[in-house]
Structure 1
Amino acid sequence: MFEIPEDRSHSQTFKVVIIVLAIVAILTLLITIFTEQAFSKSVSNPSYITGVVSRSALTVAISGYGKLVPKTQRGINTISSGHIVEVLQQPGNVVSKGEVILLLNNPKLQRAMETSELALLEEQSNLQLVKAESRQALEDQLGMIRLAKVRLALAQAELTAHEKLKENQVISTLDLHKAKVAWEKEDAVLQMESSRLITLKQTRKSIDESAMYRLEKAKKQRELLVSEVEQLSITASMDGMLTELADDLDIGRYLDEGQVVGMIADLSSYYARINITASDAEFVAPGLLATVSIKGVDMPGLVSRVEPTVTNGSVEIDISFTGSLPASVRPNIDVNAVIEVASHQDALVIERPVGVIRGHRDYSLFVLNEARQQFETRHVSIGDISGDKALVVKGLAQNEQILLQVPSHLASRQQFSIGEIDE
């Protein structure tokens, strides 16, 4: 059998109506609240961003990175060639002046040194012999002169006697003449022997000097070979740290003269070698203040050198320190540096608009005309730039507002109202 549905009561219908009306009221209230919030946000937060020209200090600095470099570094070279016997030091070791780093062996060089010692003894003996011969030759010549003087004196006495006898007519003129000739002969012999003595002195002096030169040559040769043998022990030329040592220093390997085997650094003084970008380098000059961060410690310094050439887009600068460095510093540790390029006090400063990339340029910026409620283009000279701040040189006044980012659809306009920004 089919059941006939009963009619709803009036009370049930009334409840349904009340529920529906309540839901509609709640929805209406929510829509109203969200609409007001959206409107308030659109009023308080406009879609465009402006910057206000203000007066403040502006410090312009650039940063770089690099390493701590010792002021004094010396290469370690081989003076003598030889085979490696022992490697006594490794990079990072602190060494004293004269401390042995490498030991070499060269038997041929040692034999040459022994031979030079024998040659030196030979030249010493030769010099003694030459000097003895010189003394003997000079003594002999002096004896000849003394003998010639005696003969001359005898001839003089005979001549005097003959002159008296001739006066007394005892001897003839011929006898007197013979006596004069004999005297002249003995006088000539004396003059000849005296001249021979002068020549002999010069000759023996040259011979002595030649022997002395050969002796000095033998001494120098021996000293050189002794030094070369001593240089088979490669030592530190100063106090410091062994920062580098060649990788292929195997025992038994042969090293040539003048080969670089390492580097030693003085630990008493350092400077920082910093790399900066080529675009920043044009603003850096010697004498600028700088701060170098060494293991978290900031050390003051001054720019001492700017490399004139660009390598791979960067430029090297050197920073010397004005204070004492921490005792823990070591060569070649990584450091960061900040160089103060310029400092301005009480200057006109703005937030850097989009498109303002480089300093010391003129830019066309949109400046707010409050009376007309529109942005208008104006030529503005920008000076130094530091981060998101820029120095105004000309074209803006304090408290003026500029548009920091121009919408693309208004970029070609010279002016536009505020309302057009959101269109």
Structure 2
Amino acid sequence: MDRKIEKKTWTWQRILLILVGIGGVALIISAISKTGGASRLNVQRERLLTDTINEGVFKEYITLFGVVEPIKTVYLDAVEGGRVEEVFLENGAIVESGQDILRLSNTDLELNVLNQEAQIVTQVNNIRQTSILMDQQSLNYREQALDVQYRIDQLEKQFKRNESLYRDSVISQVDFEATQDEYEHLMRRTKLMKATIEKDSLFQVMQKDQLETTLNLMRRNLDFARRSLDNLTIKAPISGQVSSLDNEIGQLINRGDRIAQIDILDDYKIRARIDEFYISRIFPQQEGNFTMDGQEYTLRIQKIYPEVTNGSFEVDLIFVGDRPANIKRGQTISLKLSLSDEKEAMLLAKGGFFQTTGGNWVYVLDPGGEIARKRRIRVGNQNPNYYEVIEGLQPGEIVIVSSYENFGDKDELVLK
């Protein structure tokens, strides 16, 4: 008779499998407990740049590139247009104030001056002729007045005689009244002649004043035209060095064209461009510095040009104290412009990490230097070399400052 064989539930194979599974789970739990559930990434140590947090002097500044320019430049523009006849100097020559630089010719201007001179001569002749005529007229009036007075003197004597004869009935009343009427007529005419002479004198004064005013105006116009001729010769208004003088004989120059410029070489300034981001933080008298040949020199903002072009604006900086003896016009200078005073702060070196984190967090190495963990921080001001650390880091801690672009969002980096 057959006997039923019962199947065993716990075979040694099943027990071994269960034990292996329990061991794997234990290993997983152990790993999780060690890492706290953080995501990790293995990185090569030699590819990383690090910086040790330290306390030091922090000063906010920006680096600028400026060009050395003369302290003052005078531009020479053509007051009158014309053709270049002579160029007395070479570009770059040193000139004294009043020295001739260039001569132009302008036929139309010269003819205009000649015409004005002819008009003035004609006007002078007219004034003289008018003055002679007025003097003759005045003399005629005075001569007429003299004749009238002479006749009055004669009639006055005759009138007195006739008056006596009339009282003695020697002459008739008609003869006496005729003499009396003529005498009174001459007396009235005398008054009229006096009034005429007075008015003629006033008219002559007014007429001469008007003619003299017209003549003076024409003389001023002639002087102006002659000065225009003088402007055809370009002279140096100040002493200095001529530059940008590139005109050739025969060249036509229009009024207002730039001919040259004169630079005063007694001192220099630096003209620098600044990003418009800083326009609200730039003020006159703000100082900067640069180093040349091992010596530091100080600059101060003298003038700010507020016009923004291509995202930047310009400033002029002058030297405070000494300036380099071998500095040359056109030389490029790298300088630091201060935006704040010096202060004590925790310093973090600038690096590529900022493009990823915006300064909100960094990877900080543990004391063993094997693992770098993500930590939130806060930074303040910055300069071209350092960030000012406000919170989140302590002096002596080591931070990865190279780019985080390939790290994703890992919580920890394992350095190999």
| TM-score of the aligned structures, taking structure 2 as reference length | 0.69
Change (3 A) 1:74 1:352: closer
Q: Which residue of 2 aligns with 1:265?
A: 263
Q: Which residue of 2 aligns with 1:131?
A: 131
Change (3 A) 1:287 1:177: same
SS in 2 for 1:285: coil
Q: Quote the offset at 1:404 in angstroms.
A: 3.3
Q: Which residue of 1 aligns with 2:223?
A: 223
For 1:243-302, what per-residue CA distance to the aligned partner results, in whole angstroms no more than 9, with x for missing partners? 1124xx333233334433222223334322112334455543322112256788754221
Change (3 A) 1:363 1:165: farther
SS in 2 for 1:342: coil
> In structure 1, what is the Cα distance between the partners aligned to 2:169 and 2:305?
111
Q: Is the 8 A contact 2:52 2:399 kept in 1?
A: no
> In structure 1, what is the Cα distance between the partners aligned to 2:240 and 2:127?
47
> In structure 2, what is the Cα distance between the partners aligned to 1:47 and 1:260?
58
Residue 335 (structure 2) pairs with residue 337 (structure 1): yes
Q: Is the 8 A contact 2:377 2:393 kept in 1?
A: no
2:317 equivalent among 297, 319, 338: 319
Residue 395 (structure 2) pairs with residue 399 (structure 1): yes
Residue 200 (structure 2) pairs with residue 200 (structure 1): yes
Q: Which residue of 2 aligns with 1:57?
A: 57
> In structure 1, what is the Cα distance between the partners aligned to 2:95 and 2:275?
37
Q: Is the 8 A contact 2:375 2:392 kept in 1?
A: no
Change (3 A) 1:232 1:47: closer
SS in 2 for 1:245: coil
Q: Which moved more, 1:95-104 or 1:215-224?
A: 215-224
> In structure 1, what is the Cα distance between the partners aligned to 2:159 and 2:355?
121
SS in 2 for 1:268: strand
2:386 equivalent among 361, 385, 389: 389
Q: Quote the offset at 1:62 in angstroms.
A: 1.5
CA RMSD of aligned residues (A): 4.3
Q: Which residue of 1 aligns with 2:189?
A: 189
Q: Is the 8 A contact 1:245 1:263 kept in 2?
A: yes
> In structure 2, what is the Cα distance between the partners aligned to 1:180 and 1:254?
86
> In structure 1, what is the Cα distance between the partners aligned to 2:293 and 2:134?
76
Q: Quote the offset at 1:375 in angstroms.
A: 4.9
Q: Which residue of 2 aligns with 1:88?
A: 88
Q: Quote the offset at 1:123 in angstroms.
A: 3.7
Residue 244 (structure 2) pairs with residue 244 (structure 1): yes
Q: Which residue of 1 aligns with 2:299?
A: 301
> In structure 1, what is the Cα distance between the partners aligned to 2:283 and 2:128?
69
Q: Which residue of 2 aligns with 1:253?
A: 251
SS in 1 for 2:201: helix
Q: Is the 8 A contact 1:292 1:336 kept in 2?
A: yes
Q: Which residue of 2 aligns with 1:24?
A: none
For 1:131-184, what per-residue CA distance to the aligned partner results, in whole angstroms no more than 9, with x for missing partners? 333333323323434444555566667777788888899999888876765554
The one-letter amino acid paired with 1:200 is: D
Q: Is the 8 A contact 2:275 2:312 kept in 1?
A: yes
Q: Quote the offset at 1:392 in angstroms.
A: 2.8
Q: Which moved more, 1:276-285 or 1:191-200?
A: 276-285
SS in 1 for 2:58: strand
Q: Which moved more, 1:94-103 or 1:138-147?
A: 138-147
Q: Which residue of 2 aligns with 1:32?
A: none
SS in 2 for 1:356: helix
Change (3 A) 1:218 1:344: closer
Q: Which residue of 2 aligns with 1:140?
A: 140
Structure number with the bigger relative contact order (C-alpha 8 A, sep ≥ 6) is 2
Show structure 1 runs of 5+ residues with no match: 1-44
> In structure 2, what is the Cα distance between the partners aligned to 1:292 and 1:331?
17
Change (3 A) 1:92 1:50: closer
Q: Which moved more, 1:174-183 or 1:301-310?
A: 174-183
Q: How many residues align?
A: 366
Show structure 2 runs of 5+ residues with no match: 1-44
Q: Which moved more, 1:235-244 or 1:306-315?
A: 306-315
Aligned positions of 1:150-169 closer than 5 A: none
Change (3 A) 1:335 1:145: farther
SS in 2 for 1:343: coil
> In structure 1, what is the Cα distance between the partners aligned to 2:255 and 2:49?
72
Q: Which moved more, 1:398-407 or 1:335-344?
A: 398-407
For 1:160-212, what per-residue CA distance to the aligned partner results, in whole angstroms no more than 9, with x for missing partners? 77888888999998888767655543343223222222332233234423443
Q: Quote the offset at 1:384 in angstroms.
A: 1.7
> In structure 2, what is the Cα distance between the partners aligned to 1:327 and 1:152?
99
Change (3 A) 1:118 1:368: closer
SS in 1 for 2:244: strand
> In structure 1, what is the Cα distance between the partners aligned to 2:123 and 2:325?
57
> In structure 2, what is the Cα distance between the partners aligned to 1:147 and 1:155?
12
> In structure 2, what is the Cα distance between the partners aligned to 1:234 and 1:116?
23
Q: Is the 8 A contact 2:353 2:362 kept in 1?
A: no
SS in 1 for 2:282: coil
| TM-score of the aligned structures, taking structure 1 as reference length | 0.68
> In structure 2, what is the Cα distance between the partners aligned to 1:240 and 1:295?
28
SS in 1 for 2:188: helix
For 1:370-420, what per-residue CA distance to the aligned partner results, in whole angstroms no more than 9, with x for missing partners? 8xx99574452x222123322234x3475373643597668354xx6xxx6
> In structure 2, what is the Cα distance between the partners aligned to 1:365 and 1:266?
53
For 1:93-137, what per-residue CA distance to the aligned partner results, in whole angstroms no more than 9, with x for missing partners? 111222222233445654554555555444444433333333333
Q: Which moved more, 1:62-71 or 1:45-54?
A: 45-54
The one-letter amino acid paired with 1:190 is: T
